[in-house]
Amino acid sequence: MKLTLTIVTALIAMGALADKHKYCACDVDGKHNEKLSHDTCTRWGQTLPNTEWRGDKHACHDYKSGGGIDGLPWENTCKKVYQDQGRNPGAVRGKCHS
């Protein structure tokens, strides 16, 4: 029963990350990391130019109508940027919302 609940919880979390979102940021150890979020947004925008940093939202914003930031690739980018800064990417999570 516990294993089933764990699997269901993981699948729900993965489903939430797979959706497209208007705003995404990066958390480290469960806390918002402004610098990492901004650095990730800059890297994200190099290949997906419909994004911009929104300081008032403390998040990266996809402003294209019908577009959006895919949560799982965003989280992977947060981790890669953090690792490139010489830090442990295991503590990093992407956090997205509409």
Tens of pLDDT, residues 53-95:
999 999 999 988 777 899 999 999 999 999 999 999 999 999 9
Residue 66 has a CB neighbour count (10 Å cut-off) of 6
Tens of pLDDT, residues 22-60:
999 999 999 999 999 999 999 999 998 899 999 999 999
User: What are the distances in angstroms from CA 25 to CA 1, 44, 95, 96?
Assistant: 34, 11, 5, 6
With contact defined as beta carbons under 8 Å apart, do 96 and 21 qualify? yes
Q: State the pTM of this model.
A: 0.79
pLDDT above 70: residue 5: no
Give residues with Cβ within 8 angstroms of 33, minimum separation 6: 25, 26, 27
Q: Which two tokens stand for residue 32?
A: 């918002």
Q: Where are the domains of the chain?
A: 23-97
